[in-house]
Structure 1
Amino acid sequence: MADTKPLSTAEADAPVVLGRSVYIAVFGLMLGMLMAMLDNLIVSTALPTIVGDLGGLSHLSWVVTAYALGAAVTTPVWGKLGDLYGRKPIFMIAIVLFLIGSALTGLAQNMDQLIAFRALQGLGAGGLMVGAMAVLGDLVPPRERGRFQAMIGGMMPVAFVGGPLVGGLLTEHLSWRWCFYINLPLGIAALLVTGLGMKLPRQHIEARIDYLGAALLGLGVVAITLVASWGGNQYAWGSTVIIALALGGVVALIAFVYSQSRVAEPILPPSMFRDRNFTTAQIISFLVGAAMFGAINFLPQYLQYVRGASPTASGLLLLPLMFGMLAVMIGSGQVVSRTGKYRTLMLVGGAVMTAGMALLLVLKVDTSTVSASLLTTVLGLGMGFLMQNTMLITQNSVPLRNMGAASGAVTLFRTVGGSLGIAVFGSLYTQRLTSSLTKSLGPSGHQLAANGTRIPPSALPGLPAPVQHAFKVAVTDGLHSVLIGGTVLALLTFLVTFLIREVPLRSGAAPGAPLE
């Protein structure tokens, strides 16, 4: 375990004066984080229209997965690049790469191009997500960081609300392509604020990037995600393709772990994992990512197909979840800043998140739209307790030199968890939906599931009444399978939070060091 020196009372209570430049920099970080998070959600309500325009229904899930994987496999690299060459220029490069990917995605002419350009967007998004938190680690000491993390982390619920809402509005009134073009003005604003208003300490570190480790990590994560996505759907679990991918992924990840102890500048320094709090925070980040992204991704399906909500309205109906998350993130950030305590908040978050997931299992075909919307509030409250405190614990467990790598680690585990969650839950959802339709309608139901698992919600009223009812029941059953999996993951998260130790938050660069 890494030793952490407790703060004296004077050090812990010493006031920290933050200048105007810090707030300007945080605004730039908020814009970058908003773009990265918004883009993986804004596309959800536009997907049916995109498929109708470009075709490629069988590749639909990869429009989301390609972006998530691109972000996941590059977050540690972006974090290490920031550690070595300065976080400001690396953050700005990530913005430019993201904008190039956004412009190309809006110009895509077929599904293959769309998926490829979404992956390019994801590469830039990885730098935006890890860069925002790592830069904040440079600007603000942990004791004061809670409220600033709440501001930046608040972009997540804003994105969860704004993504489906803006995506629905743009798709209905302009074109689905504007779901990606909208990033251009936001990105230009983020570049201007970052370039002109952000001032960070200069860094002069000579080292090399572990490109072999990055390649091994990327291969391993992609292979395992493909196994979770394809297994039992496109290929049988015992097929040569699935077995080869599983073995290849495991071998690549083992080789990655081995390589990290053999290079001078590892992407994920093994020394960080000797700290119990750091390791526990990464496990929590993975589980929360899988449960949150995996489950929330399918709630709009229920709202649109079963409750008949429009794409725009389905975004509005998730407002209770998002505002609950945002309120708790802001409130808990203030509590941590005043008290320096976070363990109890993590325990409460795990318990409330578990209750929120289980509570959503009461959703039925005839549940009122208002009730369905309000039931999501508890889940949002639980996630709000966990999201920013996981990053806070991570950054408090490492020295300043590893801040980027540590921020990259927590983002990596959360994003990989989300990618696997979407893949696994998507498989469960499809299998349960197919089974339910086949049970209700016989062979015709199986054919309907095979050809129209993701038929546009607008087409549902045109089907015969018995088929409509069977489809709504099937969608609800599919959502229940996802929520059961989410409840299991949330319960595991709650149990893991008991491993967190209440280590005093430092006020300076090194764990336990006073503010200079």
Structure 2
Amino acid sequence: MADRFSLLKILLRLIPEVQAQDPNSVRPIHGWQWFLVIAAIYSTAFLYGLDTTITADVQPAIIETFGQVGQLTWVGVGFPLGSVATILPIGYAFGIFNIKYFYLLSVIIFGAGSALCGAAPNMNALIVGRVIAGAGGAGMYLGVLNYVAVFTSLRERSLYSGLIGFIWGIGTIVGPVVGGGFASSSATWRWSFYINVVLLGLFAPALIFLAPQFQPRPGVSFLEKLMELDWFGIVLIASIFSLYVVALTFGGIEWAWNDNRFIAVIVVFGVLFITFIITQYFAIFTTKERRIFPGQFLRQRSIVLLYLGTAASASAIFVAVYYIPIFFQFAHNDTAIEASLRLFPFMMVTIFFVMVNGALLPVFGYYMPWYLLGGVFITVGASLMYTVNSETGKSNIYGYSILMAIGAGSIVQAGYSIAVAKVKPHEIQAAIGFINIAQLGSATISLTISGSIFQNVAFSNLEHILAGQEYSQEEIRTVISGTTSIVFQNMTPELKEAALKGIVQAMSKVYILVIASGGLIIISSCFMKMEKLFGKA
């Protein structure tokens, strides 16, 4: 209820501003037109947050439809993979192309990817759709940031910018609930993706006919702008992330660790990674000003430490978002919608501490203590989650996850404001892109690693438990997808109980990654300067 009143106060503060036609305004539209435009672009920030977590609670339903449990990790990791593989070139593109047209292109790509997911005839089509939607979603989110930066004055910008993070956060909170609700209803999980198309269609007229245009580089031809992009670097960074996901998704599940295919993918990944480093360092096929990766920040200790802190804290969030609902479905036999509601305490506390950090960091100025304490909370919470078994009570899970939420929420967004304060004015956009890679890249990396751990350990446990029961490997893997599995339903009560313990035990192993993330934050904080960056708020 308190959150509702806070949002109402923010909206009430907005109304006078959107109605006032200030002659010094930086935007060409005012009043109800601007209100419709800002509502429309904020809706895309909401959808980006929604799609970031919406598959957390629909994976069992998808596996029930398509099978292929070995590709389960792709359902969650496809969206952030599409985002992280394109976030840097998209950010650069917004600096040279007409932001309205590029933003609308991103909206169309997101909608097309969502439609493909909803209509997917098989798992491969669904995965492709998730990657496409992720790329479009990254463009939408950066488009919102650019619209606010261009069409708001300095006096009002902090309010509009703060609302972006708030609305994105609301989207991430309700994502599992929306996904779980559709998965549990007659509409089926497909409407978890179709709903994006419906909402985009609702706000499309405002975006098309009312949203103002801005041309960052007037007088420069479209072809010249295309030539400015670091195409070689763009292809390399997309390939590197894709090969990484392929290796860890199929390794140990579809391919043995010594399989020639796995080894080949790892070798190609390594070659491309080294090639990317060399070409970016020496600005091959590009210039230092136009290279896709802002490598100059690797020489700045503070920026590197902020990158590590952002990546590690985001990893804690994404692992919890995807594995807390799955735990409740297995251990407490929750439905998809019930399990998603269990995530509310974690997400609400995370968003609350994001806001606390945003409010207090400029007041006190010292950022190192936030990272030190945040790392401690994450480590303690994840260590307790590691001890969880099938008999652990619900209140315990809430308490453990809230500790993680306090730590992650306190620092996951802090890197943006700190990095901007640490770099030169002309490097601000590049610094934001650098932290974006940390946050979005960590989603891809953490979900891939945790998915590989869960799939491999769970399969090993079930293979041992079900030895002599004449189940095939594929049938054993279907048990991992959820308690609705036909194989699981046909087990004897004794085997069910043993299988549940084996799966939950495998699930607890994913928190080793979060413990390591918390430890990395603590170590990184010890190397941060005890300096005061911000003046009087």
- Choose the corresponding residue for 1:40, options 52, 59, 82: 52
Residues 1:299 and 2:324 aligned together: yes
> Which structure 2 segments of 5+ residues have no match?
1-15, 19-24, 28-33
Q: 1: CA distance between counterparts of 2:300 and 2:211?
A: 31
Amino acid at match of 1:177: R
Task: Encode CA deviations 1:340-391: one digit per residue, 9 max, x unaligned.
Answer: 4433323322221222211222322112234323431111111111121022
Per the alignment, residue 478 of structure 2 pairs with: 452
CA distance 1:108–1:435, shift in 2 (3 Å): closer
Contact 1:94 1:124 in 2 (8 A): yes
Per the alignment, residue 279 of structure 2 pairs with: 259
* Partner SS state of residue 290, structure 1: helix
- Choose the corresponding residue for 2:85, options 44, 60, 73: 73
Residues 1:211 and 2:236 aligned together: no
Amino acid at match of 2:235: A
CA distance 1:355–1:124, shift in 2 (3 Å): same
* Partner SS state of residue 126, structure 1: helix
CA distance 1:280–1:115, shift in 2 (3 Å): same
Q: 2: CA distance between counterparts of 1:429 and 1:332?
A: 33
CA distance 1:388–1:143, shift in 2 (3 Å): farther
Contact 1:101 1:120 in 2 (8 A): yes
The Cα of 1:143 is off from its aligned counterpart by 11
Residues 1:351 and 2:380 aligned together: no
CA distance 1:399–1:52, shift in 2 (3 Å): same
CA distance 1:300–1:447, shift in 2 (3 Å): farther
Per the alignment, residue 505 of structure 2 pairs with: 477
Per the alignment, residue 14 of structure 1 pairs with: none
* Partner SS state of residue 457, structure 1: coil
Amino acid at match of 1:406: A
- Choose the corresponding residue for 1:378, options 381, 386, 403: 403
Equivalence map 1:230-379=2 (5 Å) = 230-260=250-280, 261-262=282-283, 263-264=286-287, 265-379=290-404
Per the alignment, residue 429 of structure 1 pairs with: 454
Per the alignment, residue 228 of structure 1 pairs with: 248
Q: 2: CA distance between counterparts of 1:380 and 1:254?
A: 36
- More moved, 416-425 vs 143-152: 143-152
Contact 2:87 2:437 in 1 (8 A): yes
Residues 1:110 and 2:122 aligned together: yes
The Cα of 1:240 is off from its aligned counterpart by 2.1
Q: 2: CA distance between counterparts of 1:404 and 1:392?
A: 12
Q: 1: CA distance between counterparts of 2:476 and 2:401?
A: 30
The Cα of 1:462 is off from its aligned counterpart by 4.9
The Cα of 1:258 is off from its aligned counterpart by 2.3
Q: 1: CA distance between counterparts of 2:533 and 2:444?
A: 33
Amino acid at match of 1:217: I
The Cα of 1:285 is off from its aligned counterpart by 2.6
Q: 1: CA distance between counterparts of 2:214 and 2:431?
A: 18
CA distance 1:191–1:391, shift in 2 (3 Å): farther
Q: 2: CA distance between counterparts of 1:500 and 1:29?
A: 37
The Cα of 1:150 is off from its aligned counterpart by 4.9
Residues 1:487 and 2:526 aligned together: no
CA distance 1:229–1:355, shift in 2 (3 Å): same
Q: 2: CA distance between counterparts of 1:148 and 1:349?
A: 27
The Cα of 1:458 is off from its aligned counterpart by 3.1
Per the alignment, residue 168 of structure 1 pairs with: 180
* Partner SS state of residue 261, structure 2: helix
Residues 1:411 and 2:424 aligned together: no
CA distance 1:450–1:405, shift in 2 (3 Å): farther
TM-score by length of structure 2 reads 0.82
Structure of greater relative contact order (alpha carbons < 8 Å, 6+ residues apart):
1
- Choose the corresponding residue for 1:121, options 129, 133, 156: 133
Contact 2:70 2:477 in 1 (8 A): no
Task: Encode CA deviations 1:13-62: one digit per residue, 9 max, x unaligned.
Answer: xxxxx954899576555422221221132223222222333343333322
Task: Encode CA deviations 1:68-122: one digit per residue, 9 max, x unaligned.
Answer: 2111100111111012225454333212210121122212222222222222112
CA distance 1:482–1:178, shift in 2 (3 Å): same
> Aligned residues: percent identity?
21
Amino acid at match of 1:379: M
- Choose the corresponding residue for 1:179, options 185, 192, 196: 192
Q: CA RMSD in A?
A: 3.2
> Which structure 1 segments of 5+ residues have no match?
1-17, 508-516
Per the alignment, residue 396 of structure 1 pairs with: 421
Contact 2:315 2:446 in 1 (8 A): yes
Residues 1:92 and 2:118 aligned together: no
Contact 2:372 2:521 in 1 (8 A): no
The Cα of 1:302 is off from its aligned counterpart by 0.9
Task: Encode CA deviations 1:383-431: one digit per residue, 9 max, x unaligned.
Answer: 1111210222233344555544433332223222222222221121122
Amino acid at match of 2:319: G
Task: Encode CA deviations 1:244-282: one digit per residue, 9 max, x unaligned.
Answer: 212211221222222224223111232344433322222
- More moved, 376-385 vs 133-142: 133-142
The Cα of 1:212 is off from its aligned counterpart by 0.8
The Cα of 1:318 is off from its aligned counterpart by 1.0
Amino acid at match of 2:451: G
TM-score by length of structure 1 reads 0.85
* Partner SS state of residue 409, structure 1: helix
Per the alignment, residue 527 of structure 2 pairs with: 499
Amino acid at match of 1:442: A
* Partner SS state of residue 444, structure 1: coil
Q: 1: CA distance between counterparts of 2:155 and 2:370?
A: 15
Amino acid at match of 2:347: M
* Partner SS state of residue 43, structure 1: helix
CA distance 1:342–1:451, shift in 2 (3 Å): closer
CA distance 1:446–1:40, shift in 2 (3 Å): farther
Per the alignment, residue 62 of structure 1 pairs with: 74
CA distance 1:319–1:83, shift in 2 (3 Å): same
Per the alignment, residue 15 of structure 1 pairs with: none
Contact 2:459 2:476 in 1 (8 A): yes
Contact 2:317 2:405 in 1 (8 A): no
CA distance 1:192–1:282, shift in 2 (3 Å): farther
Contact 1:149 1:333 in 2 (8 A): no
Q: 2: CA distance between counterparts of 1:241 and 1:113?
A: 22
